[in-house]
C-alpha cells in the first residue's frame, strides 16, 4: 500500500469529517471511523490531534473538494481505500441521504474513480 504524507491524511480526514457532517449529525462513532483512517496511514501520530486539525480545516473551508486533488494523484488502491472509509462514515448511521450520495458521486468524479466500483464498495459495506 502506498503511503500518504501527513498533510494528505489531514486533508483527506477533513473530507471524511465533511462527509460525517453532511447529515448534520457528527457522532462519536463517526469520529472513531475518521481516527481509524488516520491510524491506518499514520501509525505513530496522535489520531485525536490530527482529527482536531481536520475538523478545523473542515470548519473553515468551503473549498473542501480541493482535497480531492491530493487523492487524484494517488494509486487506485489508495483511492479505493479512501472511498471505502468515506462510505464507512456515511453508512455508519444506517442511512444514506441524497446529499451524502451526491457528495460521493462528486468525489468519485473529481478523483476519476469508477462509479461501478464505488457502488460495489458501498454494497459490500452495507452487507457486512
- CATH number of the domain enclosing 113: 1.10.3680
CA separation (Å) from 109 to 39, 116, 118? 26, 12, 11
- With cell 496522535, the residue in question is 46
Cell numbers for 128, please give them. Answer: 457486512
**Per-residue cell: 77:** 488502491
Query: Which candidate, 105, 57, 107, 49, places its Cα nearest to that of 82?
Result: 107
pLDDT at 2: 56
Q: What pLDDT does 69 receive?
A: 87
**What range defines the domain where residue 12 resides?**
6-127
Q: What is the pLDDT along the chain (128 residues), one digit of tens a residue?
A: 558 999 999 999 999 999 999 888 899 999 999 999 999 999 999 999 999 999 999 988 777 667 888 899 999 999 999 999 999 999 998 888 899 999 999 999 999 999 999 999 999 999 98
Contacts with 39 (C-beta within 8 Å, 6 or more apart), sequence order = 47
- Does residue 119 fall inside a structural domain? yes
Task: Give, rounded to a whole angstrom, the gap between the first and last alpha carbons of the chain.
Answer: 23
Q: What is the pLDDT of residue 8?
A: 93
Count of domains forming the chain: 1
In a domain, 1, yes or no: no
Amino acid at each position: 500500500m502506498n503511503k500518504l504524507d501527513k498533510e494528505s491524511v489531514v486533508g483527506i480526514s477533513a473530507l471524511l469529517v465533511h462527509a460525517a457532517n453532511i447529515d448534520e449529525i457528527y457522532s462519536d462513532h463517526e469520529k472513531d471511523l475518521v481516527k481509524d483512517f488516520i491510524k491506518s496511514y499514520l501509525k505513530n501520530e496522535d489520531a485525536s490531534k490530527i482529527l482536531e486539525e481536520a475538523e478545523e480545516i473542515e470548519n473553515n473551508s468551503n473549498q473542501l473538494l480541493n482535497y480531492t486533488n491530493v487523492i487524484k494523484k494517488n494509486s487506485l488502491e489508495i483511492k479505493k481505500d479512501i472511498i471505502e472509509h468515506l462510505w464507512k462514515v456515511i453508512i455508519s448511521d444506517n442511512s444514506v441521504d441524497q446529499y451524502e450520495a451526491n457528495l460521493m458521486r462528486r468525489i468519485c468524479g473529481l478523483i476519476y474513480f469508477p462509479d461501478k466500483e464505488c457502488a460495489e464498495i458501498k454494497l459490500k459495506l452495507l452487507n457486512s
